[in-house]
């Protein structure tokens, strides 16, 4: 569902960021990169607190998942 929403609004290289499931996700669907940072507080159903740090450099995207 997130990939469909991203596709509706994309204009060039696009990253979709979502939440709600509290599950860490970094994947590609239909050419779009989809991210879910998990849960900053570790709220259920997450097993731990997590967040994502994103760095963009010259069109490259590097993601670091930080767990606590």
Task: Give the pLDDT means over successive 10-residue stretches in the chain (68 positions).
Answer: 87 89 94 95 96 94 96
Query: Which CATH number is 62's domain given?
Result: 3.60.21.10
User: Is the N-terminal amide bond of 33 cis, ω within 30° of 0?
Assistant: no
Q: How many domains does the chain have?
A: 1
Residue 9 is part of which domain span?
2-67
Alpha-carbon distances, residue 41 vs 23, 48, 59 (angstroms)? 12, 8, 31
DSSP symbols for the chain: -HHHHHHHH--SS-EEE--SS---EEEEETTEEEEE---TT--TT-SS-EEEEEEEETTEEEEEEEE-
CA distance 65 to 59: 20
Output the pTM of the full model: 0.86
């Amino acid at each position: 569902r997130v990939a469909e929403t991203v596709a509706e609004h994309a204009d060039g290289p696009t990253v979709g960021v979502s939440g709600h499931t509290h599950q860490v996700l970094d994947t590609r669907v239909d050419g779009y990169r989809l991210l879910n940072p998990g849960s900053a507080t570790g709220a259920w159903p997450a097993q731990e607190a997590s967040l994502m740090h994103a760095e963009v450099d010259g069109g490259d995207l590097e993601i670091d998942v930080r767990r606590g």
